[in-house]
Copies of this chain bind each other. A is one copy, B any other.
């Protein structure tokens, strides 16, 4: 595993950076938030991303994908993270699409739709009582003559408002937190008994509550073999976590760059505040943390792509480090910006809010430290 971008990845990074520089995503995010837009993203921009092939990245060419991996997705998401771009690439591709692909879903039109960007499929796995444990599933999957009957409530469904379908985790047997007994099901939004409510997040990202009341599904709605749900969920979430870390890396890098810029411009006591050594040292420490985060993100993505034994542990390394580094960066950014950093009018606060939102997605640092310890056998 080499921790460098190859030529193709560099080209991809360049393309993504160009799109981001043309499109003022943060302004769009602010507008969508102020309008209380239910989807929280622009369909046109998302279509443009699909056109650039980004929605196809991590899928095999057999499936109509680009045959690339998490590492390439990370390159794109890092660029998007720089502008806090709200388009649902992570959710539809890394969660929805990858569930369909890894679960070998029979009805190929869904994955096709994800890959060409015409459909959005979201993963609904969290529940009010699950905190960060994906195996905590109270939603029930009752066997019927023709298939399954699903009842339960899912929360924090990323980009869940306006989705075309949901991948829902449900339990046919076992205790609430057991890995055994979980299955994943494809639930089209228009099926009877499905109710979607918009959730408003601090980071202004799209999220939803999904209520399933005796939703009748055919047997073919199940992903993978029976009982494979937990393992499938773990794989999908690991990939999405690495990708989210890349997005966080982009966001923290941008927040940091803006702060360093501000330190050079803002004059107090007759000199730029960046000439104060106490601030310099703090900025240097933030820089080091971001450098470490970058290494961890690159390693996690490449280990996943290579099927490396250490992949899961490296995903936890990356998420623990990115969660803390992003919060540190954002807190220091607001502090160094001073009063203006506390105003809604200034953009830097959006990074702080996103730091919290991203931290609480797929497990915070404390959760991943525990997971890392368990995976390391101590």
Binding site for B on A (CB under 8 A): 276-278, 280-281
- Min CB distance A285 to B, Å, is 11
| Cross-chain pairs A/B with CB under 8 angstroms, 6 sampled | A276-B277, A277-B277, A277-B278, A278-B278, A278-B280, A278-B281
Residues of B within 8 A of A277 (CB): 276-278
Chain B residues with Cβ under 8 A from A276's Cβ? 277
- Rounded to whole angstroms, the CA-CA distance of A95 and B280 in the bound complex is 49
A278 and B282 CA atoms in complex are apart in Å by: 9
Residue of B nearest to A279 (CB): B277
Q: This chain: how many copies in the complex? A: 2
Q: Residues of B contacting A278 with CB < 8 Å?
A: 277-278, 280-281
Smallest CB-CB A-B distances: 4 pairs = A277-B277, A277-B278, A278-B281, A278-B278
> In the assembled complex, which residues on chain B have CB atoms less than 8 Å from the CB atom of A280?
278
Once bound together, how far apart are the Cα atoms of A175 and B178, in whole Å?
A: 37
Q: Output the least CB separation between A272 and chain B (Å).
A: 14
* Min C-beta distance of A147 to chain B, whole Å: 48
Alpha-carbon gap, A278 to B281, bound state (A): 7
Report the minimal beta-carbon distance from A279 to chain B, rounded to whole angstroms. Answer: 8
Q: A278 CA to B277 CA in the complex, in Å?
A: 5
Q: Which of A276, A278, A280 has the most CB of B within 10 A?
A: A278
Instruction: Report chain B residues within 8 Å CB of A281.
Output: 278
Closest to A276 in B: B277
CA–CA, A255 and B353, complex, Å: 41
For the complex formed, measure the closest distance between the CB of A295 and the CB atoms of chain B, giving whole angstroms. Answer: 26
A79: shortest Cβ distance to chain B, in Å?
Answer: 34
Q: How far is the CB of A201 from chain B (nearest CB, A)?
A: 30
In angstroms, how far is the closest chain B Cβ from the Cβ of A196?
A: 39
Residue of B nearest to A282 (CB): B278
CA distance A281 to B280 in the complex (A): 12
A260 to chain B minimum Cβ distance, whole angstroms, is 17
**Minimal Cβ-Cβ distance residue in B for A281:** B278
Q: A277 CA to B275 CA in the complex, in Å?
A: 10
With A and B bound together, what is the CA distance between A321 and B349 in angstroms? 34
What is the CA–CA distance of A276 and B278 in the complex, to the nearest angstrom? 8
CB distance from A293 to the nearest CB of B (A): 23
**Alpha-carbon distance A278/B276, docked complex (angstroms):** 8
Report the Cα distance A276→B280, complex, angstroms.
11
- Shortest CB-to-CB span from A138 to chain B, Å, is 28
> Considering the chains assembled together, what is the distance between the CA atoms of A277 and B279 in angstroms?
9
Q: Which of A276, A277, A280 has the most CB of B within 10 A?
A: A277
What separation, in Å, do the CA atoms of A281 and B276 have in the docked complex? 11
A230 shortest CB reach to chain B, Å = 34
Q: How far is the CB of A374 from chain B (nearest CB, A)?
A: 22
Minimum Cβ distance to chain B for residue A30 (Å): 35
Closest CB in chain B relative to A278 CB, distance in Å? 4
- CB A288 to nearest CB in B, in angstroms, measures 15
Please report the C-alpha to C-alpha distance between residue A278 and residue B275 in the assembled complex, in whole angstroms: 11
Q: How far is the CB of A271 from chain B (nearest CB, A)?
A: 12
CA distance A305 to B280 in the complex (A): 48
How far apart are the CA atoms of A277 and B281 in the complex, in Å? Answer: 10
Cα distance, A281 to B281, chains bound together (Å) = 11
Complex CA gap A277/B277 in Å reads 5
